Structure 1
Amino acid sequence: MTDEIVLDIKDITVSFDTPDGDVQAVRGVNMQVRRGETVAVVGESGSGKSQAMMASMGLLASNGKATGSAKYRDTELLGMPKSKLDKIRGAKVTMIFQEPMTSLDPLYTIERQIAEPLMVHGGLSRSKARARALELLELVKIPNARDRLSAYPHEMSGGQRQRVMIAMALANDPDLLIADEPTTALDVTIQAEILGLLAQLQKKLGMAILFITHDLGIVEAFADRVYVMRHGKVVEEGPTEQIFNRPAEPYTRMLLDAEPEGRKAPVPDSADVVLQAENMHVTFGQPGGLLRSSTEIHAVKGVGLTLRAGQTIGIVGESGSGKSTLGRAILQLLPADGRVVFAGTDISGFDRRQMRPYRKSLQVVFQDPYGSLSPRMTVGEIITEGLLVHAPEISAKERDKRAIQALKEVDLDPAVRNRFPHEFSGGQRQRIAIARALVLKPGVIVLDEPTSALDRSVQKQVITLLRDLQDKYGLSYVFISHDLAVVQALSDYVIVMKSGQVVDQGTTEKIFESPDSDYTQRLMRAAFELREVLNQQAKGAA
């Protein structure tokens, strides 16, 4: 690390023009990042940490405006014409976004998406760009990397998509990498690998890293300095060791103390079965033929589960283990073999029309809230859209009343229903997605990484909220997550998946205290020893 300043932000202010008036997201923020340095920006959801960087990179939404100064070395970025900015973005300064599904083009293969910046900024030929794309996928530990070059984003897990984004960002050996929640969708073992990789590349290239995150465990092991943000302002800054061991602000101490708490008591075996899946199989790609090789990927192999009234089944496993695919298969959102019985009806193979009567009672909250929320609809319209289908007889006034109630239940101000998704933080968008599911009063909700985008303090609130709603309405959850601390706090039964198969299952107490499989034991060790793993990675990079 040197004293050479790569990014210098001075008095950045960001505001958005909304139907409810001018909303200030960032208020006079100052930051500096030096060559070879890792700087972390932390704070609760909605603190302004991502918007400060989006403003600096010229990526604010159309209703956003920024004032102040953001310099890359001696070049002012704020207000720079797009044509000039594009020569810096993607080459000298790159950014990994929090929500990969909205950043990856659904119509382009993974190869094309990685190769494009290599050809545009690096001048590589198509064949050399392909070779480099393969090298980058292997670098970020994508399984079967050569086969995945021809895949599309929707055919990959959330964690795999995030790794593709990281590969794209690293493609041209940038001078500054801005990483906005880059490990949000990754399980703990891959987190350690990716952060170790970034540490190695940082040493090799002298690259600076600005790391935006809510995961303080990673910050402690990975960052040199920390900025703590709240309500759009920097409330504390300093070396990592000082921030973690001698924080000056009560808010910083609150962030450090925030961890999911409590345990859920298992439901009795006598509780009614509300959802049952048997021998589920999901395959992507095409089988081989006379003139072509097989592209088949067996994502789920013979998996089953039995969900009872009031129960939460946690499904855990590494990225690409098939846990999200299983959730979608159960909901009949993708083709699958096997049998699914919901509320006494065999819904296996039901098409969209046949499933419509069951959607009200069988809801889902997706991992990527921004990708599942229409950018052209207000929050109120998003939440009440399902009511137009499943309760067309109710009036507009009644729909608005239910939207207000749903927003209150997820601890959002009902006044925000006139705003649009891009005006919210990732955590706020996830709460909107939960409100959309709740408004229909379902019996079962499949929650696919619902807390992955949330900071620990908000995770605690959401876990408490989900428990309260479960008790109040007798809800049953299928809770898919790579965050074992959250799974332990919310689930009363856990299924562990690896490579599309179940390798362990049982009550939460059994899985966490005496798991049967070596794989589950490794997951547990990695989850609760992440700091040690990251320290070892950092030593290896040094």
Structure 2
Amino acid sequence: MADTVLSVRGLSVRFETESGAVEAVKGIDLDVDAGETVAIVGESGSGKSQTMMAVMGLLARNGRADGSVRYRGEEILGLPARALNRYRGRKITMIFQEPMTSLDPLYRIGEQIAEPLMRHAGLSRTAARRRAVELLDLVHIPDPERRLAAYPHELSGGQRQRVMIAMALANDPDILIADEPTTALDVTVQARILELLSELKARLGMAIVFITHDLGIVRRFADRTYVMKSGEVVESGATGTLFERPRHDYTRMLIEAEPSGRKSPPPPDSPTVLTAEDVRVVFTRHEGLFGRRRHDLRAVDGVDLTVRRGETVGVVGESGSGKSTLGRALLRLMPAAGLVRYEDRALMPLDRAAMRPLRRHMQLVFQDPFGSLSPRLTAGEIVTEGLLVHEPGLTRAERDRRAAFAFEEVWLDPATRHRFPHEFSGGQRQRIAIARAMILKPALVVLDEPTSALDRSVQKSIVELLRHLQEKHGLAYIFISHDLAVVRALSDEIMVMKSGKVVERGSVEAIFDKPREAYTRELIAAAFLDGRGVHMEAAAGPGL
């Protein structure tokens, strides 16, 4: 008989807002057995995170949960905070998507790991420090004794997530709830975090509840899966069975939502839009007493690149590989050396004033649309910001008409242009960011991780939109991403970067089917954890 550690029955979550009550979760049932991994999947807004926030008693102040949540038979829903803390942080723990916002930037890592040990286990400061070293070693952080003194910003994204896992494991929990713990990580780091969680589950015998929109991870990692849509569980069952024989249309849509197909190649005689030769970006850091010791970091080291009208060059690599720095250097948004030529004009000798009229032809779309859109402006005002600089003679009415047309171009209802950014979904906000670039009729667009924070189904629609706009306007794209499925669907040529250098380049077919470099094979193997869509025998290579 299964040993059920968490039983949820008839759980409902509602939020009181100025416009009335919003039902986020609608009477769901869910069970988690000891030692198993249960995945909760669905698109943003499906209620999957709010389900577990209710279990943990972490709903926002305007939220209310009804129903039953039992931990090993004991009702915990609605307990006062003091009583709930006997379970929360001890027997049931949670890690979140973005560790940088979960870790306090003002406290050292050792202090943050020690706090739950002193609070819940009653350990002395010395004993808590000793246990913190053990936990960092458990999650495979090198030199754990030294890392205790580090601040969060001194660690990589993967290391910060390992610290969060260490904190969650501090008191030997029965259940670890992981809410999108790998979404913001590179594919290789993501693979290592998943391997770590599998190892820890096996070693410690705990159950894991894995909240995600990435079905590739679920297929590999979960024993059972619950599929949520609009606050309801529409399908559940053994993961293998659910993927092989999905019963619900929504489940089938999620499974088929991987970006697919290929873009049309540019005509052979397409003119060159941008050429770069031997591009170098060096950051200088002064260390030691009075900063006497100089250390140069070559973020971009001798990169060549050519992109033609209608062509997409994909740039892939782990965090710190230099791909985003390269994109900004090509647009002259940071100091760099080498040659960069837009059409027939060399950009490096130009000062800020000389660059200004060229800026409208070379646009940048960022990873986080919410962070790059001003919350004080309406969507229409955001989209037309560039027109104030590059076409100052336009009247307000003319700018508004241009905004409406730009909204139509990115498949948004023009009537929504009077709303503010927080009133849009993540995918809609990214369309607004694309519209802001498109309204200036650019020739080149640098897209820096534009789909990494989006659901797979939303990613697929953004890929289709970018293909459509490229074909309609003959745009040249430089597409920067660590998501190889999206890169494959959008690119003509791929450049693989590591430590500031291009280690491999070639057509999509050459990179995915016959990668030459071990680093490229590692990226591909990590990106396609379930083996779909790539020749894994060729991609894995020896030793992977």
Work out the CA distance in 2 between the residues paired with 1:275 and 1:161: 32
Alpha-carbon offset, residue 118 of structure 1: 1.8
Once residues 381 and 142 of structure 2 are traced to their aligned partners in structure 1, the CA distance between those partners, rounded to angstroms, is 38
Tell me the amino acid that sits aligned with residue 494 of structure 1.
Answer: I
| Change over 3 Å in CA distance of 1:502–1:400 after alignment to 2 | same
Give a deviation string over 1:226-266, Cα, whole Å, max 9, x none. 11122332211122122112222122122223332222343
Q: Does 1:68 align with 2:63?
A: no
Quote the Cα distance in structure 1 between the aligned partners of 2:28 and 2:117.
33
Report which of the two structures shows the higher radius of gyration computed on alpha carbons: 2
Q: Show the counterpart of 1:434.
A: 434
Give the distance between the partners of 1:436 and 1:480, measured in 2 at CA: 19
1:142-180 per-residue CA deviation (whole Å, 9 max, x = no partner) reads 999979986875x88xxx425513422432416343323
Give the structure 1 partner of residue 121 of structure 2. Answer: none
CA distance in 2, matches of 1:217, 1:184: 12
Tell me the residue number matched to 1:164: 160
User: Could you say if the C-alpha distance between residues 28 and 126 of structure 1 is closer, same or farther in structure 2, counting changes exceeding 3 Å?
Assistant: same
Give the 3 Å change call, closer, same or farther, for CA 58–277 of structure 1 in structure 2: farther
Return the alpha-carbon distance in structure 2 between the equivalents of residues 483 and 363 of structure 1.
21
- Rounded to whole Å, the distance in 2 between the matches of 1:51 and 1:523 is 33
Which residue pairs with 1:538 in the alignment?
Answer: none
Could you say what secondary structure the match of 2:39 adopts?
strand
Report the more deviating stretch, 258-267 or 409-418.
Answer: 409-418
1:199: how far off?
1.1
C-alpha distance in structure 2 between counterparts of 1:394 and 1:126, whole Å: 68
**Residues 1:347 and 1:225: Cα distance change in structure 2 (over 3 Å):** same
Q: Distance in 2 between matches of 1:422 and 1:32?
A: 34
Which residue does 1:254 correspond to in 2? Answer: 253
Does the 8 Å CA contact 1:187/1:318 hold for their aligned counterparts?
A: yes
CA deviation map 1:258-304 (0-9, x unaligned): 33222234335642222233323334461445676666543322222
Q: Please give the secondary structure, in 2, of the residue aligned with 1:171.
A: helix
Matched, 1:464 2:464: yes
| C-alpha contact (below 8 Å) 2:25/2:230 kept by paired residues | yes
Does 1:121 find its partner at 2:116? yes
Name the counterpart of 1:27. 26
Superposition pairs of residues 442-521 of structure 1, within 5 angstroms: 442-521=442-521
Q: Which residue of 1 aligns with 2:361?
A: 361
Question: 1:465 Cα shift?
Answer: 0.9
CA contact (8 A) 2:99 2:164 kept: no
Residue pair 1:46, 1:424 contacting (<8 A) in 2 also: no
CA distance in 2, matches of 1:148, 1:409: 51
* Partner amino acid, structure 2, of 1:514: K
Change (3 A) 1:194 1:249: same
| SS of the residue 1:193 aligns to | helix
Q: Residue 139 of structure 2 contacts residue 165 of structure 2 at CA under 8 Å; is this kept in 1?
A: no
* AA aligned opposite 2:185: L
After TM superposition, the structure 1 stretch with the greater mean CA deviation from structure 2, 507-516 or 488-497, is 507-516
Change (3 A) 1:205 1:515: closer
Distance 1:43 1:225 in 2: 14
User: Does structure 1 conserve the Cα–Cα contact (< 8 Å) formed by 2:133 and 2:148?
Assistant: no
Residue 537 of structure 1 is matched in structure 2 by none
Amino acid at match of 2:485: A
Question: d(CA) in 2 for partners of 1:133 and 1:351?
Answer: 51
Give the TM-score, by structure 1 length.
Answer: 0.80
Q: What's the counterpart of residue 540 of structure 1?
A: none
1:276 and 2:275 are equivalent in the alignment: yes
- Given the superposition, is the C-alpha separation of residues 261 and 125 from structure 1 closer, same or farther in structure 2, using an over 3 Å criterion? same
Letter in 2 for 1:242: T
Do the aligned residues in 2 keep the contact of 1:266 with 1:493 (CA within 8 Å)?
no
Retained in 2: the 8 A contact 1:96–1:166? no
Residues 217 and 529 of structure 2 are in contact (CA less than 8 Å); yes or no, is this contact kept in structure 1?
no
Decide whether aligned partners of structure 1 residues 329 and 32 sit closer, same or farther in structure 2, where only a CA change above 3 A counts.
farther
Q: Is the Cα–Cα contact under 8 Å of residues 134 and 145 in structure 1 kept in the other structure?
A: no
Match of 2:266 in 1: 267
Tell me the alpha carbon deviations over residues 439-482 of structure 1, each in whole angstroms, 9 at most, x when there is no partner: 44332221122222333333222211111001112211111122
For residues 195-225 of structure 1, what are the alpha-carbon distances to aligned partners after superposition, in whole Å with 9 as ceiling and x for unaligned? 0101112233333322222221210111121
Q: Which has the higher contact order (CA 8 A, sep 6+)?
A: 1
Instruction: Name the aligned partner's letter for residue 65 of structure 1.
Output: G
Secondary structure, counterpart of 2:161 in structure 1: helix
**Offset from partner CA, 1:343-400 (integer Å, 9 cap, x none):** 5444448787765544433222222334334455554454444444444544445544
Residues 56/127 of structure 1: CA separation in 2 closer, same or farther (3 Å cut): closer
Q: Which whole-Å CA distance do the structure 1 matches of 2:58 and 2:115 have between them? A: 19
Which AA in structure 1 matches 2:489?
A: A
Query: 1:147 and 1:262, CA in 2 relative to 1: closer, same or farther beyond 3 A?
Result: same
In the alignment, is residue 319 of structure 1 matched against residue 316 of structure 2?
Answer: no
CA 531–471 in structure 1, closer or farther in 2 if over 3 Å, else same: closer
* Contact persistence 2:25–2:50 (CA under 8 A): yes
The 5 Å alignment of 1:315-394 reads: 315-348=315-348, 356-375=356-375, 377-394=377-394
Identical columns (%): 53
Over 3 Å counting, the alpha-carbon distance change for 1:239 and 1:275 in structure 2 is same
189-198 vs 71-80, which moves further:
71-80
Paired residue for 2:305?
305
Q: Secondary structure at the match of 1:33?
A: strand
Equivalence for 1:227: 226
CA contact under 8 A between 2:158 and 2:189: conserved in structure 1?
no
Unaligned runs of 5+ in 2: 119-123, 535-544
Contact 2:216 2:528 in 1 (8 A): no
Please point out which of 152, 166, 173 is paired with 2:169: 173
- The Cα shift of 1:495 comes to 0.5
**Counterpart of 2:196?**
197
- What does the per-residue CA deviation read over 1:302-355, in whole Å, with 9 as the maximum and x for residues that have no partner? 222122221100011233322222223323444433343335444448787765
Q: Matches of residues 25-64 of structure 1 in structure 2 within 5 Å?
A: 25-54=24-53
Counterpart residue number, 1:188: 187
Distance apart, 1:496 and its partner CA = 1.0
After superposition, the Cα gap between the structure-2 partners of 1:92 and 1:384, relative to the gap in structure 1 and judged at 3 Å, is farther
- Mark the CA change 1:355 to 1:238 in structure 2 (over 3 Å): closer, same or farther: farther
The residue type equivalent to 1:121 in the other structure is P
Amino acid at match of 1:279: D
Contact 1:61-1:422 within 8 A present in 2 as well: no
CA distance in 2, matches of 1:145, 1:102: 24
Q: What amino acid maps onto 2:496 in structure 1?
A: V
The answer to whether the Cα contact below 8 Å between 1:427 and 1:453 also exists between their aligned partners in 2 is no
Give distance in 1, aligned partners of 2:354 and 2:22: 44
Q: Distance in 2 between matches of 1:152 and 1:295?
A: 22
- Residue matched to 2:540: none
